[in-house]
Amino acid sequence: MVDTRITAAPAPDGFREVRSWPLLTIDELAALRGDLEANLPAARSASLDEVPESVLLVASELATNAIEHGGGPAAVRLLAREGEFLLDVADRTPSSAPQVAEDPSARGGFGLLLAARLADAVGWYATSAGKHVWATFTAARREPVVPV
């Protein structure tokens, strides 16, 4: 079942790539999380508040799905534009749509539901080389501190 909060559409335009990570195995997820966390502050000009934890969790879930169900290596990219981040996870299975768990008692399959709850938007699209699942996050604008 595809969740209606997960749009079948290309990722929004206007983002610039901050960093990318090729992933061959699940064992590389810890390094991805550490490096992603280190790159989030460098990529922003606004307050992220709770966004880093959400980005890290969604990245882990989508990357795990890509490696386990996507036919081999995956690629994760962090992109940014003014006040927003886009996480793009690509796998090598263009023929299969992302699947959301239908049975709450089932083991696993909740990564996309989690992404849909934590991100502002989640979508996917296929190319001849593979499938991309993306998620966007908005950073809160930091108000200037005015001395009193």
Number of domains in the chain: 1
109: Cβ contacts below 8 Å, ≥ 6 apart:
99, 100, 101
Residue 146 lies in a domain: no
Residue 145 lies in a domain: no
Residue 46 lies in a domain: yes
Which amino acid is residue 106, in one-letter code?
A: A
What sign does the dihedral 113-53-94-5 (CA atoms) show? positive
| Residue 135 CA from chain centroid, whole number | 5
**Entry pTM:** 0.83
**Which CATH number does the domain housing residue 101 bear?**
3.30.565.10
Residue 62 lies in a domain: yes
Name the one residue in this structure whose structure tokens are 């940014």. Answer: 80
Residue 141 has pLDDT above 70, yes or no: no
Name the pairing type of β-strands 84-91 and 74-81. antiparallel
Q: Which region holds residue 95: left if phi is over 0, alpha if psi is between -120 and 50, else beta?
A: alpha
Note the maximum CA span of the chain.
60
Q: What is the pLDDT of residues 10-63, one digit of tens each?
A: 999 999 999 999 999 999 999 999 888 887 765 544 444 556 788 999 999 999
Q: What is the pLDDT of residues 1-19, one digit of tens each?
A: 445 578 999 999 999 999 9
Angle at 71 between CA 4 and CA 28, to 5 degrees: 95
Domain that holds residue 43: 6-138
Residue 22 lies in a domain: yes
Residue 37 lies in a domain: yes
Residue 98 lies in a domain: yes
Residue 134 lies in a domain: yes
d(CA 51, CA 38): 13
Count, residues in the chain: 148
CB 109 within 8 A of CB 101: yes
Pick from 66, 48, 44, 42: nearest CA to 115: 66
